[in-house]
A and B are shown apart, each in its own frame.
Chain A
């Protein structure tokens, strides 16, 4: 029905309009039709239509109802506009424009002539005023609804750095970015995606810094999306990412305006989606997932050391259980004798092979982790007690797993939490099991083969045309300053090469002071 009437003009009769809307929405209770009469003698009847809960009623009263109902005469015809065109029924159409220009004191006002726009305006929170006898309606943007304010982000927390996080409102989010970058070169394009959700999606970038190719690619991929609903940024992410068959994320997401601002200034393109605090950024590189905004807010020496620690933890989380399995079941000769005897002593009486033992603990841990996220907060303590005491200690005492295995699984688990991006630690979690399987079947040989395959896979990936392993493969020496290490700010004079292809100079003169 909507499709049929999408481009057709609005009916002239007020009654027809309201009836049409009511029917279209199936008399939904949140469609409010407020009929009234304009203030002066002989004025036409009017109706205001809006979705309950999406408009700020107080403002509507103050800026729409009050001026219209207290109108003491028809608005003066503005000569400059000329005589105006006659409406289909002979009444003058400029009447509507005069109302907009002279009576309604609000900012976001637009005229609607088509049914499609009318429906859309009502459903997106405009207060729409129809006047009997006119086929043009007035949409006033007085949106207002209960909303979570700007909170501290719950992911990517920092000790030093701004505490603001994005909220669900795209307008607030663009404002948060704009507050960081007061530069006319920050361009924000907007569009609506999703037939049912009509989600506002904005693409933000620094004109002249961001690669035009990437911007064009983002536009193209977004325009190709044909879906009924976009409920979260992950919908967009999955629909526009380069390669689905990889455990690694090729699109970065963040809740932090400072991280987005930094990315934009480096030449990345941000995609903001309404109704989610998570903003996507492309192109995303492998090293990016190991970087926290905090790296730049602390001194560069500690920032570098912490980054190295993260790479180390990535290695631990990925390889330690498999190396443990490989060494204890294939390469016992590699261990120092006393450690070997100690491990053997712990393994005494454990009924399972090391691989089963490791799987048992890893899967248990994954269950505990998932339970920790999904369960109601109030039962959290019970789960952690069960998790630590019952599973950890009792399993060792009962001789089902060895103490060393508990240590291995624990260090693995903790290491995976060190990574600042949750989605890279998901990759590690998945790959870990593959490595364990190969370690149990082929020993260190299997691990090496899988590692080689992993590196090949990573070097094959790309994110919006930029190789995923940049700046290692292809190797850019100047970009090494902000990869594994974080050089002092004064040393990072140029923007990353593959991201900002033009306008690469950050600081014309750089160097330490004194």
Chain B
């Protein structure tokens, strides 16, 4: 009996202690939450104009066939983002739940004026995770981006998320940036430089924001990835185009799979599917002169041939490899030169790499890195290996 009583007392004590030690005691039923999947931040005068896209679960429940929208947008403006979000409780019947945020869209204006406040709020808030993609709306407001009706995935934010995720794996120009990656890039020795993906509304902008958009086979307006926004000192300074974006991703060694065309010796084009890349960034400090050597290795298959070439001939393959190497080298060099000249933003992380290998030298250049970066000599070497020619060798029907 003593044992039983002792156990009872122990249980009671444990339960009481339990009550006291729970730090984040927060019980919420699923149907009291407004699940925010997208967040857009615009500027209205000096105030932040925050739009939140929440899922409408009643519509997601397939049984109830309604013509109501799958998502709802709440919008409020206030001097700070947090205030604006809290003010949203005056319009939203449910608590806005940020943990499942998929995309955070910043308007170009917000990006140009500085994203530090936004980053601070979103990383300080305990609810938000860090696995959503952050992007800059190009040519439209963030709110408009969240308003586009989408097909295949009815929730625009999830559609954008999935699109970026899929494209990032198969198309070199597409880069995704998550919150932790962005903070990482802005915080390291780059003078707060980094990139964010750009997203634009392509096609008929007005129709894109109506139900009409999803009633057609050819959507009048779609959300589209469009290049990378370059940040310096936490502010957007300009854009990289498609080619430059691809080069950026190659330099960062993040290309998983992509395609690239090469001019054939006899005219016409040949497409290589690059399925594996390695990228090495080697900082050098010879006689106080800092420089960076980039070594790229590309492994490719031949994916499409639209020129007359004998693929069974080894020297022809070698010729293609050589041309691809040249093209790749040129593309990377041009991009680096462009970024150095035009933006002077160390988005590639050259500074960090020098800091790691040559901390003493880094101390000397640290103060005016942004100037030193502009003058930094970068050499690029590329090595392309063609592994396979696909399921056929020479073209079945030779092009004339």
Contacts and interface: CB of A to CB of B under 8 A. Distances in A.
A445 B7 CA distance: 21
A449 interface: yes
B14 interface: yes
A354 B62 CA distance: 21
A344 B55 contact: yes
A345 B129 contact: no
B129 A333 contact: yes
Contact of A346 (B3, B25, B61, B100): B61
A329 B18 contact: no
Given A445-B22, A449-B14, A337 B30 contact: no
A346 B59 CA distance: 10
Contacts of B22: 442, 445
A77 interface: no
Contacts of A229: none
Contacts of B28: 329-330, 332
Interface in B32-60: 33, 35, 37, 55, 57-58, 60
Given A337-B37, A345-B57, A330 B100 contact: no
A354 B55 contact: no
B99 interface: yes
A337 B33 contact: no
B27 A332 contact: no
A344 B55 CA distance: 9
B318 interface: no
Interface string B10-34: 0100100010001001111111010
A337 B100 contact: yes
A354 B30 contact: yes
Contacts of A354: 29-30
Which of A340, A353, A443, A445 is the most central at the interface, judged by chain B CB atoms within 10 Å of its CB? A340
Contacts of B376: none
A340 B14 contact: no
Prevailing SS type, chain B contact patch: mixed
B33 A345 contact: no
Contacts of A245: 3-4, 7
A344 B27 contact: no
A328 interface: yes
A342 B60 contact: yes
A441 B27 CA distance: 8
A347 B29 contact: yes
B129 A347 contact: no
A344 B30 contact: yes
B158 interface: yes
A446 interface: yes
A345 B97 contact: no
A305 to B, nearest CB: 35
A338 B158 contact: yes
B127 interface: yes
Interface in B98-133: 99-100, 102, 127, 129
Contact of B18 (A340, A350, A446): A446
A332 B97 contact: yes
B57 A347 contact: yes
A130 to B, nearest CB: 51
A333 B127 contact: yes
How extensive is the interface on chain B, given as a class?
20 to 34
A175 interface: no
B99 A345 contact: no
A10 to B, nearest CB: 47
A354 to B, nearest CB: 6
A370 interface: no
Nearest to A245: B4
A333 B61 contact: no
Nearest to B37: A337
Contacts of B102: 337
A391 interface: no
Contacts of A330: 26-28
A333 B100 contact: yes
A341 interface: yes
Contact of B60 (A332, A345, A446, A453): A345
Contacts of A443: 27
Contacts of B30: 328-329, 332, 343-344, 347, 354
Contacts of A345: 57-58, 60-62
A348 interface: yes
A328 B97 CA distance: 13
A344 B71 CA distance: 13
Contact of A349 (B3, B31, B100): B31
The listed residue with most A CB atoms (<10 A of its CB), out of B3, B100, B129, is B100
B60 A341 contact: yes
A345 B127 CA distance: 21
A341 B35 contact: yes
Interface string A440-456: 11110110010001000
Nearest to A330: B27
A333 B37 CA distance: 12
Interface in B155-175: 155, 158
A343 B55 CA distance: 12
A332 B36 CA distance: 12
A34 B25 CA distance: 82
Interface in B60-109: 60-62, 97, 99-100, 102
Interface string A419-458: 0000000000000000000001111011001000100000
Nearest to A452: B14
A453 B11 CA distance: 9
Interface string B123-147: 0000101000000000000000000
Contacts of A445: 18, 22
Given A245-B7, A344-B57, A345-B60, A350 B99 contact: no
Given A343-B30, A344-B55, A344-B60, A333 B99 contact: yes
Contacts of B37: 337, 341
A400 B114 CA distance: 49
A325 B37 CA distance: 23
A329 B29 contact: yes
Nearest to A334: B99
A341 B4 contact: no
A353 B18 contact: no
Contacts of B31: 344, 347-350
A322 to B, nearest CB: 14
Contacts of A340: 35, 100
Contacts of A350: 31
A329 B31 CA distance: 10
A442 B18 contact: yes
Contacts of B11: 453
B340 to A, nearest CB: 39
Interface in B276-304: none
A333 B36 CA distance: 12
Contacts of B61: 345-346, 348
Nearest to B5: A245
A343 B4 CA distance: 41
Interface in A335-381: 337-338, 340-350, 353-354
Pairs A-B, 7 closest by C-beta atoms: A333-B99, A345-B60, A345-B61, A347-B30, A345-B57, A344-B57, A337-B100
22 contacts: A245-B3, A328-B29, A329-B28, A330-B27, A332-B28, A333-B100, A333-B129, A337-B100, A338-B158, A341-B100, A344-B31, A344-B35, A344-B55, A345-B60, A346-B61, A347-B31, A348-B31, A348-B58, A350-B31, A353-B29, A453-B11, A453-B14
Interface of B: 3-4, 7, 11, 14, 18, 22, 25-31, 33, 35, 37, 55, 57-58, 60-62, 97, 99-100, 102, 127, 129, 155, 158
Interface of A: 245, 328-330, 332-333, 337-338, 340-350, 353-354, 440-443, 445-446, 449, 453
Given A245-B4, A341-B57, A341-B60, 6 more contacts: A337-B37, A347-B30, A347-B31, A348-B31, A350-B31, A353-B29
